[in-house]
Amino acid sequence: MTDTPHFPLSAVVGADDLKLALYLTAIDPKIGGVLIEGPRGMAKSTLARGLADLLASGQFVTLPLGATEERLVGTLDLDAALSEGRAQFSPGVLAKADGGVLYVDEVNLLPDHLVDLLLDVAASGTNLIERDGISHRHSAKFVLIGTMNPEEGELRPQLLDRFGLNVALSGHTVPAERGQIIRRRLDFDSDPHHFCVEWESRQRSLRERCQTARSTLASIPLDDQALAQITERCFAAGVDGLRADLVWLRAARAHAAWRGASAIAEEDIDAVAEFALRHRRREQAPPAPQHNQPQAGQNANPGEGQGQWGEIPAQALPVGARREVPSWPKKP
């Protein structure tokens, strides 16, 4: 951790759903990370940075938007290769994020192959590099947090599905809450150190609660009764694939650990349902418009009556009469 004070997570006003999703992912990183959707200025990076303080390493790494694959996974150390003539691995962003938080802002603007690579490593916890004459494997167990503004572009469905949880933030905050947010931000900006000292006890309690939940997570069984409820509800939601069932079950167990329970209850399943289903739920197709059948007595022949003229029948013109064509003035 750095000595630079950061806004404590316990002092963030509102965003309860997002904070809960972050806690669950910190308790069980196998959930697969959190994708946050929402407009700018909603404290997404503040929440992500605050989450890093709850982890053992406290490491917070940001992936630049223009990062290359070499910068992400690591590559050959050119200095060692040129000066000493030996192949040596130079670690990338994934190695630096091990044990902490990897924050990817505007993940929907990253190239698809980098997003796919990120999600692969986040799910496995291991980064394997075989390129440039080197073969190297290292641990990469981090909490992946991605943000996106849907107005700037969407993720492909197959990449969207690979994010464990999905939370959408609304930009419309009630006035009382907005005022409280601004007041706390002003207090932090005026004296960051003093502000962090004031919130240290609540931040410590939050950190201890996360650590206790992580230590008891393995003792909570992934029982068949909870799995049966989840599979039934995933089937009813029409989700594709089986990742939703797995993520939902793991998130429910993490929520039980967060509560301090010894088994998964129905309230745990309900608490994380929208997180797991929001980006996987299949949209219902709108019903096809029903065309009115021609009623008896109406002319169904399109050749007669010059098509659909509504309820007004065509007016008969006198035979032999010459229709006067209006003379429109020419444009100057």
Percent of the chain residues past pLDDT 70, beyond the cut: 77
Q: Given a cut of 60, is residue 205 above it in pLDDT? A: yes
Burial of 146 (0-12, 13-18, 19+ CB in 10 A): buried
Q: Which long-range contacts (CB under 8 A, 24 or more apart) does 130-135 make?
A: 131/75, 131/76, 132/75, 132/76, 132/87, 133/76, 133/87, 134/76, 134/87, 134/88, 134/89
Query: pLDDT tens-digit profile of 93-150?
Result: 888 888 888 888 888 888 888 888 888 888 788 888 776 666 778 788 888 888 888 7
Question: How far is it, in rounded angstroms, from Cα 221 to Cα 27?
Answer: 15
Inter-residue contact 69 to 117 (CB < 8 Å): yes
**Domains of the chain by range and CATH?**
11-170 (3.40.50.300), 220-280 (1.10.8.80)
Q: For residue 137, indicate whether it is catalytic.
A: no
pLDDT at 271 over 80: yes
pLDDT averaged over every residue in the chain: 79
Closest CA to 270 of 251, 283, 244, 246: 251
pTM to 2 decimals?
0.75
Instruction: Report the candidate in 191, 206, 257 with the shortest Cα–Cα distance to residue 53.
Output: 206
For residue range 77-99, what is the model confidence (pLDDT) as tens digits? 656 555 665 666 677 888 888 88
User: pLDDT tens for residues 306-319?
Assistant: 455 455 555 555 55
Q: Are 100 and 61 in contact (CB under 8 A)?
A: yes
How many Å apart are CA 170 and CA 152, to the nearest integer? Answer: 16
Q: Please provide residue 139's backbone torsions phi and psi, each rounded to the nearest 5 degrees.
A: -70, 140
Cβ(115)–Cβ(32) below 8 Å:
no
Q: Tell me the mean pLDDT in the region 259-275.
A: 93
Whether 300 shows a pLDDT value over 50: the answer reads no
Q: Give the 3-state secondary structure percentages of the chain, helix then strand then coil, rounded to 5.
A: 45, 10, 45
**pLDDT greater at residue 18 or residue 89:** 18
Most confident by average pLDDT, 62-66, 87-91, 169-173, 211-215: 211-215
Q: How many alpha carbons fall within 13 Å on the CB side of residue 305?
A: 12
Q: Select which of 214, 233, 243, 253 is catalytic.
A: 243
Of residues 31 and 83, which shows the higher confidence score? Answer: 31
Of 106, 103, 98, whose CA–CA distance to 45 is shortest?
103
Q: Is beta strand 126-131 parallel, antiparallel or unpaired with respect to 134-139?
A: antiparallel
Q: Above 80 in pLDDT, residue 157?
A: no
Report whether 147 contacts 104 (CB < 8 A).
yes
Retrieve residue 297's tokens.
């007595």
